[in-house]
Amino acid sequence: MLSLESYKNTTTSRGFKYHYYFAPAKQSKPTLLFCHGFPSTSQDWHRMIPHYEQQGYGIVAPDMLGYGGTDKPVDPAAYKGTLMAKDMVEILDAENVGKAIAIGHDWGVITVSRLVNVAPDRIYAYAFLALAYILPDPEWSYERTLKQNKELVGRELFGYWKFFSREDGAKKIEDNWDSFFGVVFPEHIDSWRKQPADSTLEATMDKVAGKILPLPHYLSEEDRKIMSEVLLKGGLTAPTCYYKVQLNGDRLADDRTIPQERYIPPTSSPIFYAGGTEDSVCIPSMQRQVFKDPRFKDHQVTNREFEAGHWFILSHANELNAELAPWIESVVAQIEKPSL
């Protein structure tokens, strides 16, 4: 796990305290900003961060809003993407980091995506893991998305968002934590095709209620204990706001604040996307479609896949580092060095 001694705190202009892992850059290396997803903390990066820290890269890895040692507001409006992106900029400011390479997994991708829209001058390059870049879309429809997904793959890929967004959703997760943990982190990666990939997640939890399910190969009993203690300590009401903000209209209102000229990353900013071939929610072939948009024709986009499920930042960290590290080095090689 990441050393607790390397964690710091800062309070953003919104009044939220962020708890984050920090290592200063060495040898003129840039800083990497890691943004995790749901249900996680910055510790999910513990198999990746040491690889880059040892090479002298600076590291900023926050417990994202709602998690770990960071504040946990329960108003979904606090989780608007542009606001969380601005929080990241203020963390960089607190550490005197002018520009960074942004890396996001799962819902961390929405924050990294909105950095494109609100602070492209602060980011050298963008890495999107599991989810691809999320375009602003003021006309986005959840029901339309469910219908389209069912037509394409036969399943409502994000049907479980309704359960997470329900008033009693967080409490049911907390009261049935062992079954929830086993469903979200399944022993067999193909389980997601039958469980959280559609609207039956709650029903699946009910079927295994009271059971402690076998762990996947990449988690130990100690991992389960630590992850469970941290996530349950703060409760799930705040983390489920990442779903509520998608369904209650706040996401659309937020997207309407973004100028269309800021919809696409600068062509000078390289893009890295990686997906797991066994991820049946964030299906790589569907995620890559965003980069086929004609507006990306002049971008440097690197695509990689791993024979893994959704949690490849844990299960395939070494393989991911073997692909991500050379990409980062290629980005660094393009960074204009200050004249002496």
Model confidence over 253-288: pLDDT tens digits?
Answer: 999 999 999 999 999 999 999 999 999 899 999 999
Task: Give me the number of domains the chain comprises.
Answer: 2
Q: Does 209 fall in a domain?
A: yes
User: Residue 289: is its pLDDT beyond 80?
Assistant: yes
Q: How far apart are the first and last CA of the chain?
A: 39
For the cut 80, the answer to whether the pLDDT of residue 336 exceeds it is no
Same domain? For 130 and 269 the reply is yes
132 with 264, same domain: the answer is yes
Task: Kindly state whether residues 54 and 118 are assigned to the same domain.
Answer: yes
Average pLDDT over residues 38-48: 98
Average pLDDT over residues 292-311: 97
Are 209 and 272 within one domain? no
Do 129 and 187 belong together in one domain? no
What pLDDT, on a 0 to 100 scale, did the predictor assign at position 155? 86
Distance, in Å, from the CA atom of 111 to the CA atom of 145, rounded to the nearest integer, reads 21
What is the pLDDT confidence band of residue 337, given thresholds at 50, 70 and 90?
A: low
| CATH code: domain of residue 26 | 3.40.50.1820
In a domain, 340, yes or no: no
Distance of CA 71 to the CA centre of its chain: 17
Mean pLDDT, rounded, of the chain: 95
Residue 98, pLDDT above cutoff 70: yes
Q: Residue written as tokens 């929405």? A: 110
> By residue range, what is the domain housing residue 151?
142-247
What confidence tier does 338 reach under pLDDT thresholds 50, 70, 90? Answer: very low
Q: Is the pLDDT of residue 48 over 90?
A: yes
Pair 154, 184 in one domain: yes
235/154 same-domain check: yes
**Confidence (pLDDT) at 340:** 33
Residue 339 reports pLDDT greater than 90: no
Q: Which of 56-70, 95-109, 189-203, 250-264 has the lowest mean pLDDT?
A: 189-203
Judgement on whether residues 127 and 172 belong to the same structural domain of the protein: no
The reply to whether 97 and 11 lie within a common domain is yes
Of 247, 280, 300, the position where a domain reaches its end is 247
d(Cα 323, Cα 25) in Å, to the nearest integer? 21
Domain boundary (228, 247, 266) is at 247
263 and 117 in a common domain: yes
Same domain, 171 and 105: no
Read off the pLDDT band of 200 (50, 70, 90). Answer: confident
Q: Is residue 299 part of a domain?
A: yes
Decide if 339 is inside a domain.
no
